[in-house]
Structure formats: C-alpha cells, structure tokens
C-alpha cells in the first residue's frame, strides 16, 4: 500500500489509485478502518453516552449530589419494581434498630409504594429525568444519606473531564516542546530531553501524592480541580514530547520539507503545515491512551485524600468512603463507584487501540 501519511491530509488518496476508495482523504480512510473495529466503535459510543450523562447530570441524576438526609444514612440499594397500575415504583423504607449493633437498619415497607415520576420537578423547581417524591435510592446512600447514583453521575463530571483537560494540557506542552526539540536540535534538544528524563525518573503516584499534598488547604474547589489537572499532566507530557520529537526528526530532512524550505517557507509555516499534520494521528492515539492513566491517577489521589476535596465530588472521593474493610463489609454498595471507573478506563483503552490500528498505514 502506497499510502503516505507524512504529507498533508487531503491530497494523497486523491491521486493514488491504490487506496481502496480512490477519492478518500487520509482522515476518511482512518474513519473507515475505525468503523470496522466493532469493539472500538462500541467503546466510543459508550464514552459519548457517559460524557452526556456527566454533562447533563443536573437533569439525568434523580437528586442533587449534596442533598443530605441525615435520617436515611447508609440505606441499601432499593429494587425497582414495575406494575401496570403504578408503573415503576420502589417500596418505602422502614427503619429498624439492630438489637446487637444498635445501628439503624432499613428494610422494605411493603405497604408503601413510591412511584417513579419522569420529568420530575423538585422543590427548587429543577427538572429531573426521573425521581420520586418518596425516598428512592437505586444504589443506596452514603454516610450522610446522599444518593449514591446521583453522586456517581456528578462525580463523573469531575473525573471524566479532568482526564480530558489534563491530556489536552500535556498535548499542548508535549507537542510544542517535542517539535522544538526535534526541529532545532542542538542544546535546546539536549536540555528538553534531559528534563524529560529527570521527570520520568520519579515514580508517578508518590510524586503526585507529594504535589497533591502541597496544594494550599485554602484553595477553592475549582482551583483544586485545575491544580490536580496540572499535577497529573506535568509528568505525562514527556512521553508525548518524545514521540513527536522522533517524528519531527524523521521528517525534518525529508524531501517535502526540503522543498518547502527551498521555496522560502518560514519555520512556522513548515512546522504547522508540514511537520505537525504528520504527527496528528500519533498524537491523538497517544492522547486517547493517556486519558485512562489520568482518570486512574485522579481516582487514586482522591482515594488517598490528596486529590479533589469535598464538597466537590469525584469517583475517587466516593471511593474514599469505601477505604476501610469494616465499612465495606457493612455497606458493600459503597464500592459501586468503582464500576464506572473500570468501564470508562477499559473503554478508553479499547478506543485508543482501535484508533491506533486505524491510523497505522500498514494495518491492512
């Protein structure tokens, strides 16, 4: 296959009779190959769905994430029932004091039925896709009686966007420094490469922990959010910069760059029009595969209490409550936030793998 990704994206293919579509641009070719990978497409669709749920959490979640019910602490997940007369409903809750541990425990009150209402309007006048006038906790509640399902949806906002923003940051940093390093070479290259080596000599989680602990305690939630994002991307840009540098080094002496230079093109023109387009597919693949690492990093940091701080919530913050085995044995549903973490990370891995296969010109 005589497909050259090195050149700009839209001409080859057009005059290359060997590509299967004849008139397809490189991007279309990638898309076509990507679509053939079923796991990749499913993963991509799943991620889109998760991001939609996260962004629209105000509407999709049945409650607000900080709605505290001190009388309904540690309610186990309630089952959803269906009957023709009532539609979907959950049973009411009866609290019973355990004679041994003297703790309040909840059981079903078979007499009571709280129907699930769609497009429910709560006391503040906000609409929810589904909610109920009575207590309805499909995944149970935490130690302050907050609905876990709603908290997971709101937590997705922080956890899932943090990975994206962090990767964006490391893309910007990595591409700029990688290009500079590869294009100009010399002592600049040397300096940047040594910095990358020093950064990669730190084990990431201990360093993240130290930097996370160094964030001032007085910061607001949003400052912490961006602080954590910067901390996570500060180590991860090195790998990307290396890859970009390698590509740029390879293209720098190639004929089309020579031609551009001979034609009087400036550095900026050569870099943006000739060198970087060749790296796009590479960058996208690396970025996709870097997102799960960031999500896991945030989760781990918050889990240890060094990341996102309440009242802001993220999957790591939710898992922090499940840290102790004794708590988990009593209230096993608190581990549930681990499920979306796993799904999202696996989906990103599959998506990145599919993109890599699709962007690889030798894959057919």
* Footprint of other proteins (CB under 8 A): 200-207, 209-210, 212-213, 292, 296, 299-300, 303-306, 319, 322-323, 325, 328-329, 332, 335, 338, 341-342, 345-346, 349-350
Residues forming a β-bridge with 109 = 92
Q: Which CB sits closer to other proteins, 175 or 299? A: 299
Minimum distance between the CB of residue 95 and other proteins, rounded to whole angstroms?
A: 26
Minimum distance between the CB of residue 14 and other proteins, rounded to whole angstroms?
A: 32
Minimum distance between the CB of residue 235 and other proteins, rounded to whole angstroms?
A: 9
Minimum distance between the CB of residue 304 and other proteins, rounded to whole angstroms?
A: 6
Contact of 241 with 250, CB cutoff 8 Å:
no
Alpha carbons 77 and 41: distance in angstroms, whole number: 32
Q: Which CB sits closer to other proteins, 186 or 206? A: 206
Alpha carbons 166 and 354: distance in angstroms, whole number: 22
Contact of 90 with 80, CB cutoff 8 Å:
yes
Minimum distance between the CB of residue 347 and other proteins, rounded to whole angstroms?
A: 9
Alpha carbons 74 and 94: distance in angstroms, whole number: 13
Long-range CB contacts (< 8 A, 24+ apart) of 205-208?
205/297, 205/300, 207/235, 208/232, 208/235, 208/297, 208/300, 208/301, 208/306
Q: Which CB sits closer to other proteins, 161 or 349? A: 349
Alpha carbons 319 and 100: distance in angstroms, whole number: 28
Per-residue buried b or exposed e for 210-230, using 16+ beta carbons within 10 Å of the residue's own CB = ebbeebeeeeeeeebbebbbe
Minimum distance between the CB of residue 303 and other proteins, rounded to whole angstroms?
A: 6
Minimum distance between the CB of residue 156 and other proteins, rounded to whole angstroms?
A: 16
Q: Which CB sits closer to other proteins, 157 or 356? A: 356
Contact of 110 with 302, CB cutoff 8 Å:
no
Q: Which CB sits closer to other proteins, 10 or 323? A: 323
Instruction: Give, as one character, the DSSP assignment of residue 82.
Output: E
Token pair listed for 120: 């429910």
Minimum distance between the CB of residue 213 and other proteins, rounded to whole angstroms?
A: 4
Token pair listed for 41: 């497409």
- Whose tokens are 């019973």? That residue is 96
Q: Which CB sits closer to other proteins, 105 or 357? A: 357
Contact of 175 with 276, CB cutoff 8 Å:
yes
Q: Which CB sits closer to other proteins, 62 or 155? A: 155
> What angle (nearest 5°) sits at the alpha carbon of residue 226, between those of residues 217 and 47?
130
Q: Which CB sits closer to other proteins, 70 or 342? A: 342
Token pair listed for 142: 């935490």
Among residues 76, 54, 75, which one has the least CA distance to residue 65?
54
Q: Which CB sits closer to other proteins, 266 or 332? A: 332
Minimum distance between the CB of residue 301 and other proteins, rounded to whole angstroms?
A: 10
Token pair listed for 80: 């959803």
């Amino acid at each position: 296959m005589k497909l050259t990704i090195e050149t700009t994206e839209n001409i080859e293919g057009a005059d290359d009779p060997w590509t299967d579509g004849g008139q397809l641009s490189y991007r279309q070719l990638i898309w076509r190959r990507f679509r053939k990978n079923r796991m990749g497409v499913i993963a991509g669709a799943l991620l889109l769905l998760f991001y939609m749920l996260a962004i629209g959490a105000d509407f999709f979640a049945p409650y607000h994430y900080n709605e505290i019910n001190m009388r309904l602490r540690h309610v186990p997940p309630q089952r959803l029932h269906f009957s023709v007369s009532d539609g979907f409903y959950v049973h009411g809750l009866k609290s019973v004091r355990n004679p041994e541990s003297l703790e309040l425990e909840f059981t079903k009150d078979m007499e009571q039925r709280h129907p699930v209402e769609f497009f429910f309007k709560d006391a503040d006048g906000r609409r929810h896709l589904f909610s109920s006038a009575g207590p309805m906790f499909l995944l149970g509640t935490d130690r302050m009686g907050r609905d876990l399902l709603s908290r997971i949806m709101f937590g997705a906002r922080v956890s899932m966007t943090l990975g994206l923003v962090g990767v964006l940051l490391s893309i910007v940093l990595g591409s700029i420094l990688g290009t500079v390093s590869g294009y100009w070479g010399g002592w600049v290259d040397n300096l940047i490469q040594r910095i990358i080596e020093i950064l990669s000599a730190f084990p990431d989680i201990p360093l993240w922990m130290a930097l996370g602990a160094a964030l001032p305690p007085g910061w607001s939630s949003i400052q912490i959010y961006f602080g954590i994002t910067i901390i996570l991307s500060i180590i991860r840009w090195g790998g990307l910069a290396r890859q970009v540098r390698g590509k740029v080094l390879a293209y720098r002496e190639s004929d089309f760059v020579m031609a551009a230079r001979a034609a009087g093109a400036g550095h900026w023109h050569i870099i943006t029009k000739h060198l970087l387009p060749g790296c796009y597919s590479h960058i996208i693949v690396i970025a996709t595969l870097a997102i799960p690492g960031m999500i896991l990093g945030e989760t781990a940091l918050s889990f240890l209490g060094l990341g996102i701080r309440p009242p802001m919530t993220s999957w790591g913050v939710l898992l922090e409550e499940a840290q102790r085995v004794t708590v988990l044995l009593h209230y096993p549903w608190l581990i549930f936030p681990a499920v979306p973490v796993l799904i999202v990370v696996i989906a990103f891995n599959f998506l990145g793998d599919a993109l890599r296969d699709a962007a690889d010109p030798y894959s057919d």
